[in-house]
Amino acid sequence: MFFASDNWAGAHPAINERLLRESTRFAAAYGTSDLDRAVEARFNEIFEREVSVFFVATGTAANSLALASVARPGGVVFCHSEAHVIEDECGAPDFFSGMRMVPVEGPLGKMNMKNLGARIARYPQDAVHHGRAAAITMTQATEVGSVYTLDEIAAIAQTARAHGLPLHMDGARFANALVALDTTPAEMTWKRGVDILSFGGTKNGCWCAEAIVFFNPEMARELPFIRKRTAQLFSKSRFIAAQFEAYLKDGLWLELATHANAMADRLRDGISGSNSARLAWPTQSNEVFAIVPIDTMKKAHEKGAKFYDWLEPRDMSEPAGEGEMLIRLVTSFASTAHDVDAFLAAIG
Amino acid sequence: MFFASDNWAGAHPAINERLLRESTRFAAAYGTSDLDRAVEARFNEIFEREVSVFFVATGTAANSLALASVARPGGVVFCHSEAHVIEDECGAPDFFSGMRMVPVEGPLGKMNMKNLGARIARYPQDAVHHGRAAAITMTQATEVGSVYTLDEIAAIAQTARAHGLPLHMDGARFANALVALDTTPAEMTWKRGVDILSFGGTKNGCWCAEAIVFFNPEMARELPFIRKRTAQLFSKSRFIAAQFEAYLKDGLWLELATHANAMADRLRDGISGSNSARLAWPTQSNEVFAIVPIDTMKKAHEKGAKFYDWLEPRDMSEPAGEGEMLIRLVTSFASTAHDVDAFLAAIG
Amino acid sequence: MFFASDNWAGAHPAINERLLRESTRFAAAYGTSDLDRAVEARFNEIFEREVSVFFVATGTAANSLALASVARPGGVVFCHSEAHVIEDECGAPDFFSGMRMVPVEGPLGKMNMKNLGARIARYPQDAVHHGRAAAITMTQATEVGSVYTLDEIAAIAQTARAHGLPLHMDGARFANALVALDTTPAEMTWKRGVDILSFGGTKNGCWCAEAIVFFNPEMARELPFIRKRTAQLFSKSRFIAAQFEAYLKDGLWLELATHANAMADRLRDGISGSNSARLAWPTQSNEVFAIVPIDTMKKAHEKGAKFYDWLEPRDMSEPAGEGEMLIRLVTSFASTAHDVDAFLAAIG
Amino acid sequence: MFFASDNWAGAHPAINERLLRESTRFAAAYGTSDLDRAVEARFNEIFEREVSVFFVATGTAANSLALASVARPGGVVFCHSEAHVIEDECGAPDFFSGMRMVPVEGPLGKMNMKNLGARIARYPQDAVHHGRAAAITMTQATEVGSVYTLDEIAAIAQTARAHGLPLHMDGARFANALVALDTTPAEMTWKRGVDILSFGGTKNGCWCAEAIVFFNPEMARELPFIRKRTAQLFSKSRFIAAQFEAYLKDGLWLELATHANAMADRLRDGISGSNSARLAWPTQSNEVFAIVPIDTMKKAHEKGAKFYDWLEPRDMSEPAGEGEMLIRLVTSFASTAHDVDAFLAAIG
- Class in CATH terms, B11-252: alpha beta
Identify the three-state secondary structure at position B299: helix
Q: Which residues of A touch B90 (CB under 8 A)?
A: 225, 228-229
CB nearest to B92's CB, from A56, A59, A229: A229
User: Are D207 and C11 in contact (CB < 8 Å)?
Assistant: no
CB nearest to B228's CB, from C75, C129, C225: C129
CB nearest to B74's CB, from C74, C75, C228: C228
- What is the structure's pLDDT at C103? 97
- What is the structure's pLDDT at A133? 98
pLDDT in tens, B61-75: 999 999 999 999 999
- What is the structure's pLDDT at D348? 82
Domain A11-250 falls in which CATH fold? Aspartate Aminotransferase; domain 2 (3.40.640)
Is residue B287 a contact partner of residue B145, using CB atoms and an 8 Å limit?
yes
Half-sphere exposure of D105 (CA within 13 A, CB side): 6
CATH annotation of A253-346: 3.90.1150.10
pLDDT in tens, D130-145: 999 999 999 999 999 9
- What is the structure's pLDDT at D163? 98
| CA pair distance B90, B86, nearest whole angstrom | 8
Q: What average pLDDT does the segment B287-315 reach?
A: 94
Closest CA to C344 of C316, C307, C312: C307
pLDDT in tens, B35-93: 999 999 999 999 999 999 999 999 999 999 999 999 999 999 999 999 999 999 999 99
Strands B287-293 and B324-330 come out as antiparallel
Q: What average pLDDT does the segment D325-334 reach?
A: 97
pTM exceeding the 0.90 threshold for the entire prediction: yes
Q: How far does the CA of residue B95 sit from the closest CA of chain C (Å)?
A: 12
User: Are B100 and D99 in contact (CB < 8 Å)?
Assistant: no
Q: Which residues of A touch C119 (CB under 8 A)?
A: none
- What is the structure's pLDDT at A316? 86
- The secondary structure of B231-288 as a DSSP string is T---TTTHHHHHHHHHHHGGGHHHHHHHHHHHHHHHHHHHHHT-SS-EESS---SSEE
User: Are D222 and A128 in contact (CB < 8 Å)?
Assistant: no
User: Are A7 and B19 in contact (CB < 8 Å)?
Assistant: no
CB nearest to B230's CB, from A7, A28, A92: A92
Mean predicted lDDT score pLDDT of chain B: 97
Q: How far does the CA of residue C75 sit from the closest CA of chain B (Å)?
A: 9
Say how many CB pairs under 8 Å bridge C and D.
157
Q: What average pLDDT does the segment D215-238 reach?
A: 97
User: Are B99 and D91 in contact (CB < 8 Å)?
Assistant: yes
User: Quick one: pLDDT band at residue C34, thresholds 50, 70, 90?
Assistant: very high
Burial zone of C311 (CB within 10 Å; 0-12 exposed, 13-18 middle, 19+ buried) = exposed
| CA pair distance B93, B75, nearest whole angstrom | 12
Q: Which residues of B touch C226 (CB under 8 A)?
A: 73-74
pLDDT in tens, C166-177: 999 999 999 999
Q: Which residues of D touch B95 (CB under 8 A)?
A: 98
Q: What average pLDDT does the segment C99-112 reach?
A: 97
> Edge-to-edge, what's the strand order for the sheet holding C308-309?
C278-279, C287-293, C324-330, C308-309
Q: Which residues of D touch B90 (CB under 8 A)?
A: 74, 128-131
- What is the structure's pLDDT at D318? 87
Q: How far does the CA of residue D347 sit from the closest CA of chain A (Å)?
A: 53
Q: Which residues of C touch B134 (CB under 8 A)?
A: none
| CA pair distance C52, C214, nearest whole angstrom | 5
For residue A314, pLDDT over 90 is answered with no
Q: Which residues of D touch B128 (CB under 8 A)?
A: 90
H-run or E-run covering D268: helix D252-272
CA dihedral (C221, C225, C227, C231) in degrees, to 10, reads 180
> Edge-to-edge, what's the strand order for the sheet holding B308-309?
B278-279, B287-293, B324-330, B308-309
Q: How far does the CA of residue D341 sit from the closest CA of chain C (Å)?
A: 18
Q: How far does the CA of residue B68 sit from the closest CA of chain C (Å)?
A: 10
User: Are A230 and B92 in contact (CB < 8 Å)?
Assistant: yes
- What is the structure's pLDDT at C276? 87
- What is the structure's pLDDT at C315? 82
Q: Which residues of D touch A129 (CB under 8 A)?
A: 30, 228
Q: How far does the CA of residue B345 sit from the closest CA of chain D (Å)?
A: 32
Q: Which residues of C touch B73 (CB under 8 A)?
A: 68, 222, 225-226, 229
- What is the structure's pLDDT at B214? 98
- Phi, psi dihedral angles at A272 (to 5 degrees): -70, -20
What share of chain D in percent tops pLDDT 90? Answer: 96
What share of chain C in percent tops pLDDT 90? Answer: 96
- What is the structure's pLDDT at C82? 96
CATH annotation of C252-346: 3.90.1150.10
- What is the structure's pLDDT at C36? 97
Q: What average pLDDT does the segment A327-334 reach?
A: 98
User: Are B132 and C225 in contact (CB < 8 Å)?
Assistant: yes
User: Are A72 and D222 in contact (CB < 8 Å)?
Assistant: yes
pLDDT in tens, B17-35: 999 999 999 999 999 999 9
CB nearest to D20's CB, from C16, C26, C231: C16
- What is the structure's pLDDT at B314? 83
pLDDT in tens, B197-225: 999 999 999 999 999 999 998 999 999 99
pLDDT in tens, C298-344: 999 999 999 999 999 988 888 999 999 999 999 999 999 999 999 99
Q: Enumerate neighbours of B (3 or more CB pairs within 8 A).
A: A, C, D
Is residue D330 a contact partner of residue D6, using CB atoms and an 8 Å limit?
yes
For residue A307, pLDDT over 90 is answered with yes
User: Quick one: pLDDT band at residue D276, thresholds 50, 70, 90?
Assistant: confident
Q: Enumerate neighbours of D (3 or more CB pairs within 8 A).
A: A, B, C
Half-sphere exposure of A154 (CA within 13 A, CB side): 7
H-run or E-run covering A270: helix A252-272
User: Are C128 and B73 in contact (CB < 8 Å)?
Assistant: no
At A207, which amino acid appears?
Answer: W
Q: How far does the CA of residue A165 sit from the closest CA of chain D (Å)?
A: 16
CB nearest to C91's CB, from A88, A100, A122: A100
Q: Locate the chain D residue with the closest alpha carbon to A131.
A: D225
Whether the upstream peptide bond of residue B154 has omega within 30° of 0, thus cis, is no
pLDDT in tens, B233-280: 999 999 999 999 999 999 999 999 999 999 999 999 999 999 889 999
CB nearest to B228's CB, from C128, C224, C228: C128
pLDDT in tens, A213-227: 999 989 999 999 999
* C148 strand-pairing partners: none
pLDDT in tens, C2-20: 999 999 999 999 999 999 9
Q: How far does the CA of residue D121 sit from the closest CA of chain B (Å)?
A: 12
User: Are B131 and D99 in contact (CB < 8 Å)?
Assistant: no
What share of chain D in percent tops pLDDT 70? Answer: 100
H-run or E-run covering B223: helix B223-229
Interface of C with B (CB under 8 A): 30, 68, 72-75, 128-129, 131-132, 222, 224-226, 228-229, 233
- What is the structure's pLDDT at A139? 98
User: Are B131 and D94 in contact (CB < 8 Å)?
Assistant: no
For residue A310, pLDDT over 90 is answered with yes
CB nearest to D231's CB, from C13, C64, C234: C64
Q: Which residues of B touch D91 (CB under 8 A)?
A: 74, 76, 98-100, 131
- Class in CATH terms, D12-250: alpha beta
- What is the structure's pLDDT at C32? 96
Closest CA to A126 of C8, D221, C101, C61: D221
For residue D315, pLDDT over 90 is answered with no
* Domain locations in chain C as residue ranges: 11-250, 252-346
Interface of B with D (CB under 8 A): 74, 76, 87-91, 94-95, 98-101, 122, 128-131, 311
Q: Which residues of B touch D87 (CB under 8 A)?
A: 129-130
Q: Locate the chain C residue with the closest alpha carbon to A89.
A: C129
The conformation of residue D346, written as its DSSP 8-state character, comes to: H
- What is the structure's pLDDT at C314? 83
CB nearest to A29's CB, from B7, B27, B234: B7
Mean predicted lDDT score pLDDT of chain A: 97
Burial of B305-344, coded b for 16+ CB within 10 Å and e otherwise, reads bbbeebeebeebeeebeeebbbbbbbbbbbbeeebbeebb
H-run or E-run covering C180: helix C174-181
pLDDT in tens, C108-146: 999 999 999 999 999 999 999 999 999 999 999 999 999
User: Are A74 and D233 in contact (CB < 8 Å)?
Assistant: no
User: Are B30 and C128 in contact (CB < 8 Å)?
Assistant: yes
User: Are D28 and C10 in contact (CB < 8 Å)?
Assistant: no
Q: Locate the chain D residue with the closest alpha carbon to A127.
A: D225
CB nearest to B100's CB, from D76, D94, D131: D94
